[in-house]
Structure formats: structure tokens, C-alpha cells
Amino acid sequence: MNDIATNTDLTGHNVEGGFNVDLIRRDFPILSREVHGKPLVYFDSGASAQKPRAVIDAMTQVLEEDYTNVHRGAHYLSQTLTDRYESVRGTIARFLNAPTEEEIVITRNTTEAINLVAATYGREFLSKGDGVVISDMEHHANIVPWQLLRDEIGIELKVAPIDDRGVLDMDAYADLLDGNTKLVSITHCSNVLGTMVPGKEIVRLAHNRGIPVLLDGSQAVVHSKVDVQDLDADFYVFTGHKLYGPTAIGVLYGKAELLAQMPPYQGGGDMIATVTYEKTTYQEPPYRFEAGTPPIVEAIGLGAAIDYVSAIGMDKIAAHEKALLAYATERLTAMPDVRLFGSAPEKAAILSFVQDGIHPFDTAATLDRAGVAARVGQHCAEPLMARLGVDGTVRASLAMYNTTGEIDIMIAALERARSLFG
């Protein structure tokens, strides 16, 4: 084991100077269950992470004791829950080191956050012939919203290539920041290859040309400490459920001066200042972008998730995952029939691979028999699969609660797949 087990308390929270994965695991009730009579090995956190007791308890507590609607309620419950809901905005702002909590817009997920930027900033500031730069390793969530905008107003989509290791070609990227490029929207960490993209450099090069940048942090916030001021990103988006929080809540960070210039996304309650049949005026950001009753319980859950990972420390989580990645990479590359995709020097604990001569579905089904939950297919990144020259891969995405022992279970299951299908 690569874990440092010192100075731990019983919950794994507030662990000073160490990281004890066994104690962390106790915080995640689902990890004690079995699948097909085997202990669950959850290697699908890149799709959605499991939830710690702290998140489950926070959401249950609200529903049982404090639940009501938020904003403009005159009664006690509404006022106290509004305060608590709004305090999560501050928690998120601190987590990202955003200058103010007014720059934190609550969305349903990353997909909605990117669609929001495309539909508001995009429609307001982009016009026919303007270029939007993405990369060759985007999730469909950072491709299709721009294609919709392309079809609507005629923008041009420009794709920055990657090399065979899965590293973004920074020279080619810089070349794409030419005259007509008006926006960059790039993943901060590939959901397939694990590549950590040099966000700060991406932003610096774009800003040299006066081009704003959106970074898709869906995977990056889970595996590393993100500081939007250090990155100087104009927009930063992520989703709650991959960060050990609930589904149906996501975050758009946007610089105040940009959000202030953007029109509303959807119309409805909560986002308006005044409404008459003749004219409606809108709230200031972030409320302007949050039409309708927000995900109240989910926000409390996300706040609890951020408190949880912050108490442990993103640096400690990253160090643990780095050790897991190194071990898994060593074990997988030692298997002659395994082809591993993505060998970027800066990489999160996401491993995509195929076994030669075995369909990824057969590999993943064999892993499942061993209790190993991995994802198979194209991972919402069909263009990247085409770039890699495969129909799909098996993806093991690791998290803070995984262990080297679990990697050994996966390796044994891959050996079984070889004997079953080879």
C-alpha cells in the first residue's frame, strides 16, 4: 500500500499530515456492499463518484428537518434555509478561490453550464465567422453546444490536436488563436485519457490575443486543487456528482464583468427583478441565470461534499490518487495484451485501455463478474475515439477511496478475461 497512515481520526476528516484510505472508505457506505458475491471495486468515479456519509446525512437532515423553498419566504424555515443555501455559494467560491460568491452560478450540471455560456455569452458576443477553439479530447458536452451555436449563427469550430500521448499540442493551439477566434472552451482534464491540460498556459496564450477562456473542470476539480484566479479563467465549470456530491447540481464560475454583460439563459421565477406584461427586468448575476426553484437539497449536499474533500485536503487526495495511478499504470503496462491510452506527464487517475483481440465489452463484463465497476464504450467522446483509432475502451477511473488491492483485483480479472476470450 502506498498510503500514509498517521494521525488519523475515526472519520478520516481533518487528518493532520496523513491520509488513511481505510478510514476514508468507512465514510462511504456503499463501499461495504458486494456485487456478484464479491466486494464492490468501484472504478467508475469518473462517471459519477460515490457519496460520503457527510453528504447523505446533510441531505437527509434538510429533508427531515429544515426543508422548504428558498428566497423571499417570510417564514422562519425559508429564511434559515435560504441563508444555508446561499452559504453554499460561498463554499463553492472558496473551493475555487473565486473572488466573490456572486460569480458562482448554480446549474444542473457541467453540460448545462456550458450550454448556458454558449446560449448567453455565445449569442451576445459571437457572430457569423467567429472561431471557437476546443480540443481533440472534449466530452460531447463541450462539443455539441458549440455545434448548436454553429448551426444557429454560423460560428466556426476549431479543434486543437493532441499527440499520441494524449498531450495537447500547444503550438497548434497557439496557431488556432488567430484573427477570427473569439472564445476558447477546453477541458481542464480529459475524461478518457486523464490528461491534465495546462490551464494557466491555455488562458495566458488566449488572453494575449484578448480571447476569453472557458475551462471544463468536471474531472479536474476532483483530482487537483483548482484556483480560478491563478488560472485567470474567464469561465470555469464543473458538476457536483463527480465531486462526491449529488446529481442535478453543477457550477458555472464566471468573471463578474462577463456575467454582468450576459443576457438571461432561461426565463421564469427567481431570475427577475420586476415583471409586467409590457416589460420584465432581470436580477443581477448570479440570480439572472437561475430561473425557477433551484436544487436546494442538492446544493446542501454539494456544500457538504466540498467541506468533506476540503477537510481531507485536495493535495492529499491528489497524492493518494497519484500513487494509485502509478501502481495501476505499472501493473497494466506489464500485461502484454493491454493497450493503455494516454501517457501524459501530467495525468489524473483515469486509465483507458483495451485488451488486444478482446472487445472492451467482454473485458468490462469480466471485470463486472469480479465486482469491478468500470465503464466501457466511447465515454461521450466519439471524436477522441476516432483519433485513437478504436471503437471504444474500458475506463477505470479511480478516486480517493480506491486502493492498490483493488487494482490487483482488476488485474486478476483481466487475466481471467484473457483466458476466457483469448
Partner 1 sequence: MMAIAAEKMAQYEEYVEALDLLDEESRFEYIIDIGKRADKTPFPADCMDDAHLMHGCMSKVWIIHEIEDGAHHFRGQSDAIIVKGLVSMMTGSFSGLSSEELAEITLDHVRGLNLGALTMQRQVGMMAMLKHMQKLSQRAERSPDTLRAAD
List interacting residues with partner 1 (CB under 8 A). Answer: 36, 359-362, 364-365, 368-369, 376-378, 391-392, 420-421
Nearest to 43 by CA among 334, 381, 299, 414: 414
Query: In angstroms, what is the minimal distance from the CB of 138 to partner 1?
Result: 18
Which residue, 232, 230, 235, 226, is CA-closest to 254? Answer: 235
User: Min. distance of Cβ 359 from partner 1 in angstroms?
Assistant: 4
Nearer to partner 1, 77 or 380 (CB): 380
Residue 391 Cβ vs partner 1, minimum distance, rounded to whole Å: 7
How far apart are CB 380 and partner 1 at their closest, in Å?
9
Single-letter amino acid code for the residue at 387: R
Q: Catalytic: which of 153, 380, 390, 411?
A: 380
What values do phi and psi take at 155, rounded to 5?
A: -75, 165
Cβ count near 64 (within 10 Å) = 8
Nearer to partner 1, 101 or 368 (CB): 368
Q: Would you say 378 or 402 has its CB closer to partner 1?
A: 378
Q: For the CB of residue 48, give the shortest distance to partner 1 in the complex, in Å.
A: 17
Instruction: Judge residue 315's burial from the number of C-beta atoms within 10 Å of its C-beta, 0-12 exposed, 13-18 middle, 19 or more buried.
Output: exposed
- Tell me whether residue 380 is one of the annotated catalytic residues: yes
184 or 364: CB nearest partner 1: 364
Residue with grid cell 464479491, as numbered in its chain: 38
Q: Which of 404, 354, 345 is nearest to 375 (CA)?
A: 354
Least distance from partner 1 to the Cβ atom of residue 395, Å: 12
Give the residue with the Cβ less far from partner 1, 66 or 368. Answer: 368
The grid coordinates listed for 76 are 422562519
Nearer to partner 1, 35 or 319 (CB): 35
Q: What is the nearest approach in angstroms of partner 1 to the Cβ of residue 396?
A: 16
Q: Which is nearer to partner 1, 122 or 392 (CB)?
A: 392
How far apart (Å, rounded) are the C-alpha atoms in residues 149 and 114? 12
Give the separation between CA 88 and CA 91, rounded to whole angstroms: 5
Q: Distance between CA atoms of 91 and 245, rounded to whole angstroms?
A: 13
The residue among 109 and 393 lying less far from partner 1, judged by its C-beta, is 393
Contact present, 380 and 392 (Cβ < 8 Å): no
Q: How far is the CB of 387 from partner 1 (least distance, A)?
A: 18
Pairwise CA distance, residues 151 & 386, whole Å = 23
The residue assigned the cell 465503464 is 375
* Residues classed as catalytic: 380
